[in-house]
Amino acid sequence: MSITVAIINYGMGNLHSVYRKIASFSVEPIIASTPLEVIKADKIILPGVGHFGKAIRNLQKQGLYDAINEAVLIKKKPILGICLGMQLMAKKSEEGDCKGFGWFDANVVRFQLQSNRRFKVPQTGWNTVAICKQSKLMEGIADGSEFYFLHSFHFADVQEPDRLAETEFDYNYVSAIEKENIFGTQFHPEKSHNQGMLLLKNFIQL
């Protein structure tokens, strides 16, 4: 029986680019819009682009918020948050002054750039990641590899054991996180060519 990967549909992001990448592996991806689809899946991907507060409200309105919590915290199913999906794993965000899932003891803040001539918000385009610890998610990916970014907010005050990768954009910030069965990337692996495909493959094989 093939592995079922639920790609959460809560109206916040381009699901189909993620779907196409996942479909290239020997798995069964589904665009999941109901709690049952989330609970039944083997693995979960939480993508997203947009406003933190609206994302949480949409998840709650569709009954997905509680279903994701059950799948991740009780059933211990692997989950990968991408961009906004990673940010939703924090305690709270400045964007909308809203609480997230709270799986990580960290907050989400807007970039506070000192060099506004060199750097612009949102961060858009390719940047490198410095890998902070060994991880099956990053297996085969070289330190300093480039990934595609598009965001104005980022994780802050992340506990040391949860830091998977960091990126420099005027200053260093955490661009990937990991704790037990929970993973997140601020960058978009689905838009990051070979390195992104390898990361997604690693997640599927967890």
Q: Over the stretch 42-62, which tens digit does the pLDDT of each residue have? A: 999 999 999 999 999 999 999
Q: Mark whether 83 is an active-site residue.
A: yes
Structure tokens at 35: 């709690």
- Domain residue ranges of the chain, discontinuous segments joined by +: 3-204
- pTM equals 0.96
Q: Would the pLDDT of 115 be above 80?
A: no
Q: Mark whether 188 is an active-site residue.
A: yes
- Give yes or no for a contact between 77 and 69, defined as CB atoms under 8 angstroms apart: no
* DSSP β-ladder status, 107-110 and 92-93: parallel
Catalytic residue among 139, 151, 188, 193: 188
Catalytic residue among 37, 83, 95, 154: 83
Catalytic residue among 37, 95, 178, 190: 190
Q: Mark whether 132 is an active-site residue.
A: no
- Give yes or no for a contact between 68 and 31, defined as CB atoms under 8 angstroms apart: no
Contacts of 165 (CB under 8 A, 6+ apart): 129, 130, 131, 132, 138, 174, 175, 176, 185
Q: What share of the chain is helix, strand, coil (3-state, %, to 5)?
A: 30, 35, 40
Structure tokens at 184: 């997140």
CATH 1.10.645.10 fits 3-204, yes or no: no
pLDDT band at residue 1 under the 50/70/90 scheme? low
pLDDT tens per residue, range 62-96: 999 999 999 999 999 999 999 999 999 999 999 98
Tell the residue number behind the tokens 């601020």, with chain if given.
Answer: 186
Which amino acid is located at 187 in the chain? F
What H or E segment, with its residue span, contains residue 6? strand 3-8
pLDDT band at residue 118 under the 50/70/90 scheme? confident
